[in-house]
Amino acid sequence: MLIYIARRLLLLIPVLLGVTMITFGLTRVVPGNPIDLMVSPMATEEMRAQVAEREGLNDPIWLQYVHYINNVLHGDLSDSFVTSQPVLSDLTSRFMPTFELTLFAMIIALVLSLPLGIAAAVWRNSWVDHVARVLAVVGVGMPVFWLGLLGIYLFYFKLHWMPPPQGRISLYVFAPPTITGLYTVDSLLTGNWDAFKSAFSSLILPAAVLGFAAMAPLARMTRSGMIEALDSDYARAARALGLSEKSVIMRHAFRNAILPLMTMTAIVYGYMLGGVVLIENVFAWPGLGRYVFTAITSSDYPAIQGFILYSTALYVLIFLIVDVLYVALDPRVRL
């Protein structure tokens, strides 16, 4: 197992190298001039040329890439053109808000999708199955930003059940001391109930919107996996031996159906980490999504490159964890 993990980590190097090459090339060919962010609109051409020379933007692209890789190997992702802060520091400070949002969204997605998918498979072609299909289609087809706007209009503007979209916590409540970086967890650990109520109420709507969108593919995967498992020979043999239907469903069918579901969960969670941009902008959430959105619209080369490198490494590590769980849950993989 240790050799397998080490081999996968070594394979991460060419993956990240390829991602940096593609990202570096694309950021240089899209429209936009980052010098406009670093100088005054009244700056002379001479001042603009000095800034371009200082940032190395006048060098050939291949030489700029060599300098960038050399800095990355030394743990330096350069400074953001927008914030003037190290990109690594920006990404680290914004990762925990995004992680908290996506973690709660994934919990909501699993809580909804697993019972829904299992029920749809057990009572296939019934009204339960039809409801599950409709919810899955709505979750897949409805744009996540539109769901967010509808949620704000209904639960904040009309019903006044939720706070306004103002970030992670109310403007009138002090944030809890940083322990884990998760406001809900840190407020519980410090016994700050006002901060917990404010952080949780600010989190629940964006997490529910993101979780509903993630629920659809997970529910469909659960349903298809459970149908295949329930129609298998070992399920029929278990029924013939006199096992209860509940035991057949949960102990035998679900344990086999959960394996492809784990892969889909990793794919969906990786999509969440990279696709949470719209939700964070709708709800003014100070995470990676808003950061990279600002970077893209501002042609902030170092921030874009750093975010993609960061998210790619996380994505590969998530699949590594899933592969290890496969080995732990399925004896056939170990053989």
Domain-located, residue 320: no
Q: Give the pair of three-digit tokens for residue 134.
A: 């409709």
CA distances from 233 to 225, 230, 238, 248, 280 (A): 14, 8, 9, 12, 47
- 21 found inside a domain: no
Q: At what angle do helices 288-297 and 301-329 cross, to 10 degrees?
A: 140
- Count how many domains the chain has: 1
Tokens describing residue 328: 């732990």
Q: How far apart are CA 170 and CA 192, in angstroms?
A: 14
312: CB partners within 8 A, 6+ apart = 15, 16, 19
88: tokens are 């690594």
Residue 146 counted as domain residue:
yes
**Count of beta carbons in the 10 Å neighbourhood of residue 283:** 27
> By the 8 A CB rule, do 94 and 200 touch?
no
What is the structure's pLDDT at 104? 92
- Give the CATH number for residue 187: 1.10.3720.10
Sign of the alpha-carbon torsion through 14, 19, 21, 22? positive
What is the rounded distance in angstroms from the CA atom of residue 107 to the CA atom of residue 18?
A: 33
- Helix/strand number for the chain, H first, E second: 16, 0
Q: Give domain status of residue 147, yes or no.
A: yes
**Domain that residue 188 falls in:** 91-290
Question: 289: Cβ–Cβ under 8 A, 6 or more apart, which residues?
Answer: 98, 276, 277, 278, 279, 280, 281
Q: Is residue 55 part of a domain?
A: no
Q: At what angle do helices 301-329 and 254-275 cross, to 10 degrees?
A: 170
- Give CA separation, 182 vs 121, 185, 189, 231, in Å: 36, 5, 11, 43
Per-residue pLDDT of the chain (335 residues; tens, 9 = 90+): 677 777 777 877 888 788 888 877 777 766 666 666 666 666 677 777 777 777 677 777 778 788 888 888 887 888 887 788 888 888 888 888 888 898 999 999 999 888 888 888 888 888 888 888 888 888 777 888 888 888 999 998 888 888 888 888 888 888 888 888 888 999 998 888 999 999 999 999 999 998 888 888 888 888 888 888 888 888 888 888 888 888 888 888 888 888 788 888 888 887 777 657 788 888 888 888 888 888 887 778 788 888 888 888 888 788 788 877 777 776 666 55
Residue 323 to residue 335: CA distance in whole angstroms = 14
**Per-residue pLDDT, 331:** 67
For the question of whether the overall pTM of this predicted structure is more than 0.75, the answer is yes
- For residues 291 and 262, give the distance between their C-alpha atoms in angstroms, rounded to a whole number: 29
Question: In this structure, are residues 300 and 81 in contact, taking their beta carbons and an 8 Å threshold?
Answer: yes
| DSSP assignment letter at 147 | H
In a domain? residue 102: yes
Say what the pLDDT of residue 204 is.
92
Task: Specify the pLDDT at position 38.
Answer: 64
On whether residue 123 sits in a domain, the answer given is yes
Cβ–Cβ under 8 Å, residues 259 and 329: yes
Residue 39 lies in a domain: no
pLDDT in the model for residue 83: 81
CA distance 9 to 306: 19
Contact status, residue 275 vs residue 267, Cβ threshold 8 Å: no
